[in-house]
Amino acid sequence: MIEVGLVGFGLAGRAFHAPVIRAVPGLHLAAIVQRSGNEAAEKYPDVRILRSLDELLAMPEIRVTVIATPNETHYPFARQCLEAGRDVLVDKPFTTTLEEAEQLVQLAKKTGRLLTVYHNRRFDGDFQAIRQVVEAGTLGHIVRFETTYDRYRPQLKPGAWREAARPGSGILFDIAPHLIDHALVLFGLPEAVTADVRIERENAAADDAFDITLHYPKSLRAVLRTSILAAAPRPRFVLLGTQGSFVKQAFDPQEMNLRRGYIPADKPWGYEPEENWGVLTIPKGDGFEQRRIPSANCDYRDYYANARDALLGRTAPAVTPQYALDVMRMLELARASSAKRCTIPW
């Protein structure tokens, strides 16, 4: 049994890590660090609740630490854990700068510890359907891929760290890692990046919208976008190719189920009803044929199962340190492209 210590019990720790860890055989959630409040103790009375990372690292049985704290703390906390001889899993974004990420990767190599980043949205069922369509060549040559993550929250959140003017805040570092992961999994590294990262809400201090275009060979463009002022959300995924298109409207249900407190061990998990599946449109005669493509019954537990097997030496981590660095570099290029209002080569 691998003993796991979770650092942080905000939304990420409470919804996206603790219940998933608890549902994966071979992993034992032994301790949770919650600096203040009693939510963790009330939710998990059988888990040891601590008030500091130092207390966690004083527990010799803890092998892997999961960092699910505000973004600007990822680097110092991950560094402290690596220096204490622990394997480390960091919630996205990896860090707030590429330089910090590179330092952590070098430290993990030096200490011989596993270091990986939680890119869980690749385990969404609709994204797996997208992968199958791309890999099957159903649409011919793909010329455009869109991945969109819209919200509608016109009001500001006073006191929320994600909306403050501080390192790692804003929607770019919150949402873009997921969308970058989608593009890199499907198409690999681009040739260039063009981005517009902006503030749309009046009096907001942190970016709350972006459009990022990744330029690939043969006219392929991957468009990553989000807005916090999308009362009518745009399609979640769009694929355009020389032999048809694929459009997916609704979101994978796992995030909402976790936010509602459902347990990943419950069945069915990750199931999406047929009316929410994406629609494939292909030419047929003088018209078009449409059919729905099933969303796979995917599971965020697969990420942690892979991390478990990597810790046991059975496989490589799904998210390698180099891959995590590529995502961080993409974030920095997007920020630089937006600031300079130009396209930047990879």
Walk along the chain (346 residues) in steps of 10 and give the mean pLDDT of each run.
98 95 97 96 97 98 98 98 98 98 98 97 92 95 97 91 89 97 98 98 95 98 98 95 96 87 76 92 93 89 96 96 98 98 97
- Whether 272 and 228 map to the same domain: the answer is yes
- At 293 the pLDDT is 92
Tokens in use for 136?
Answer: 């099957």
- At 257 the pLDDT is 86
- Whether 100 and 136 map to the same domain: the answer is no
- Whether 104 and 205 map to the same domain: the answer is no
Residue 342: CB atoms within 10 Å: 12
Instruction: Quote the domain boundaries for residue 100.
Output: 2-120+303-321
CATH number for the domain that contains residue 51: 3.40.50.720
- Whether 149 and 176 map to the same domain: the answer is yes
Give φ, ψ of 149 to 5 degrees. Answer: -130, 85
Residue 67: CB atoms within 10 Å: 28
* Burial of residue 291, with CB atoms counted within 10 A of its CB: 0-12 exposed, 13-18 middle, 19 or more buried: exposed
- Whether 269 and 337 map to the same domain: the answer is yes
Secondary structure class of 292 (helix, strand, coil): strand
CATH number for the domain that contains residue 271: 3.30.360.10
C-alpha dist (Å) from residue 260 to 16, 245, 256, 257, 263 = 11, 33, 6, 5, 9
**How far, in Å, CA of 116 to CA of 345, rounded?**
26
- Whether 110 and 126 map to the same domain: the answer is no
- Whether 208 and 235 map to the same domain: the answer is yes
C-alpha dist (Å) from residue 249 to 121, 148, 181, 268, 277 = 16, 10, 19, 21, 8
- Whether 288 and 189 map to the same domain: the answer is yes
- Whether 202 and 313 map to the same domain: the answer is no
- Whether 142 and 231 map to the same domain: the answer is yes
Question: Residue 74 carries which side chain, given as an amino acid letter?
Answer: H
C-alpha angle 116/223/183, rounded to 5°?
Answer: 30
- Whether 233 and 134 map to the same domain: the answer is yes
- At 298 the pLDDT is 82
- Whether 76 and 211 map to the same domain: the answer is no
**How far, in Å, CA of 342 to CA of 345, rounded?**
10
- How many folded domains does the chain comprise? 2
